[in-house]
Amino acid sequence: MSQAEYARQRNRAKSLITRYVKDGRIVLVDRKVDPEQADKALGFTKVHKAHNEEDGDKKNESGDYWKEKTRRESAEASLKELDLSRRQGELVEVDVVAQEFSKMVDAVRQQLLSIPTKIAPTVHAQKTIHAIHRIIEDAIHDALNDFGTYNAESGKPRTGRAPSKNRSASAKVKTNAKAKRQRVGK
């Protein structure tokens, strides 16, 4: 084994091993150190070896400590960034989004299911398929518009919206029915 390797294994400086070689305390064989002979010459025993192995374990532990500390600090920094993004309104929790989406889908479902009840009397009074088609289409568009103006806080469509062009078309059909003295609505 080379002088440098022996120094590394025994946790000593290479210059110290070189001095021991010059002093004759360590004898080289073919320009290599015989570890057993060198250990005996320097008075290294099993206790010294065990002590050196413990030192090596401590070094590994300290290396692990710094790696773990770095990992922990990185994780804490990531959590702080996420918290900041959440507070700034850039992030929303998945559970909150899922709950609000479920409420919105339920509201749209109820709106769509109420269409037949709302428009049945009006449709019944119509004489042309074109007029019936327009009423049904307008009711569907109204329900979809409500979906587009959904208010997450109340769970209902937003109020105060401007009437759509489809609403005016359905109002026109109702007005025509009233003019002909036909029954409209309930």
Q: Where are the domains of the chain?
A: 3-44, 94-179
167 CB-near residues (< 8 Å, 6+ apart): 138, 142
Query: Does position 64 have pLDDT exceeding 50, yes or no?
Result: yes
Q: What is the pTM of this model?
A: 0.38
- Sign of the dihedral through C-alpha 91, 96, 97, 100: negative
| Average pLDDT of span 74-84 | 91
| Average pLDDT of span 42-66 | 59
Question: Pick the residue with more confidence: 176 or 122?
Answer: 122
Q: How many helices (H) and strands (E) does the chain have?
A: 7, 4
Of 71-80, 96-105, 149-158, 162-171, the one with minimum mean pLDDT is 162-171
Query: Does position 52 have pLDDT exceeding 60, yes or no?
Result: no
Q: What is the mean pLDDT of the chain?
A: 76
